[in-house]
Amino acid sequence: MAARSRRAGVGAAMAALALMIAAASLPEALRRADSPQLNVVVIVTDDQPASSIPAPVPVMPLLQRAALDPSGHWVVFTRAFANTPLCCPSRATMLTGRYAHHTGVLTNADGARLDETRTLATWLDDAGYETALVGKYLNGYPFGRGPYVPPGWDRWWGKRQGTAASIYHDFTLIEDGTAVGYGPRAYSTDAFAAEAVAFLREVPLDRPFLLWFAPTAPHPPAEPAPRHAGRFAGLAVPESPAVGEPDVSDKPAWVRALPPLDAERREDLREAWRRTAETLLAVDEAVRAIVETLRERGELEETVIVFTSDNGLAFGEHRWDRKSCPYEACTRVPLLVRVPGVAHRVVPAPVSLVDLAPTLLDLAGVRAPAPLDGASLAPLLGGAGRGPGPVYLEFAGDDRVPAWGAVRTRRWLYVELATGERELYDLRRDPAELENLATDPARAAIVATMADELARVRGG
């Protein structure tokens, strides 16, 4: 089938969508119009704070301009969260639509525990999609084995686990089962983008495809491409009352143990933010290259594009400077979705990365072979519904942060720690999560309700 005829089918589908959206989710409307399957491009960055896009000073100017264009097709989710704010568990959740306590991938050392036969790639591959991954897969890959390609992937450029020094240079890709080393002059984001564009140019026009593009940027220590070094000199960390929180007396013990932010540490955070921003410029260019390649091939209006990150990253919020925390700085992620024929809108409903796989399966018209933990966001993309409901968050603990589970709604954030400590924040009155209300007798009913919801999800 030529791209032209596929495009005509999508156009007819979108005309039908305008009439059906009140009664049907987006993919149902597409199927009623007998349209072909949409292509899928998923772009997953590494440790990108949600405050980076949209941002007062655009650090991804090309994507931000496109995403905020009222005449465009990008849907911006302003309250999207990583269910586990840690790389490997979060990526496993995105690929499966299952929480970490169901995938078994609870830490960055658990990647080999993932059932690789039940992922978005295998489901779409079985449905006739050409599938490709370029960049980071799961931490630890290939898990002590020889180079291999996981089930469901037709093309594979997966980054081999390395050291911090190999995030941006001197990395190795497993290219369709063969290890290929890249030297010190190669820059990972650019190399990954070149492979992604090559795949898009080679994939047959008559076959739908999934491209999973996963740069390792801007994972710390962030390193901008040489052409971008110094572009954001003097850039300040985004302002928030949570940065350097002065009174942490009502926070759990692990936060109380953190030292206040002194001038030296604030300067270190500012420098880290500057380097993060400059590192994202190459990602911005990679997104543009992917979009322009789709446009040149006549497939942009046949392709769903998702842009997100595996987790956020704190830059001094609550005195913290890493991920893994239950607060917004660590858990909130950028989530921008472009759907052909769907008008730009901003969605404030809470959603999470466990919803990604169900959404993409729904848009592709593919039924998952087993129940998933997430819910399709297709109705929200089409402007209908209030969202999937409370967001469940979890972390298995490490040497700095104890294990915790949390539930987040439009108004409340409730956290239970393995230490027995609890937190409750009224997000309507206290969006910076500064005042812990868990011990307030007036909030006892809220605490009980949220605790019941947390127990329900954990037990499900």
Q: Given this model, what pLDDT does residue 457 score?
A: 95
6's tokens:
């596929």
Q: CB count, 10 Å around CB of 315?
A: 23
Distance CA 19, CA 416 (A): 45
Distance CA 288, CA 411 (A): 36
β pairing state of 130-135 and 155-159: parallel
**Is 315:47 a contact under the CB 8 Å cutoff?**
no
Q: CB count, 10 Å around CB of 256?
A: 11
Q: Given this model, what pLDDT does residue 35 score?
A: 58
Asked: is 36-389 a CATH 2.60.40.3080 domain? The reply is no
Q: Given this model, what pLDDT does residue 311 score?
A: 99
- Provide the β-strand partners of residue 38: none
Q: Given this model, what pLDDT does residue 165 score?
A: 86
> Domain extents for the chain?
36-389
**Is 325:365 a contact under the CB 8 Å cutoff?**
no
213's tokens:
């593009």
Please identify every residue annotated as catalytic: 87
Q: What is the mean pLDDT of each run of 10 residues along the chain (460 residues)?
A: 39 35 42 67 98 94 92 95 99 98 98 98 98 98 95 98 92 96 97 98 96 99 98 94 98 98 97 98 98 98 98 98 98 97 95 98 90 95 89 98 98 98 99 99 98 93
Q: Given this model, what pLDDT does residue 32 score?
A: 34
38's tokens:
């949409």
Q: Given this model, what pLDDT does residue 385 score?
A: 80
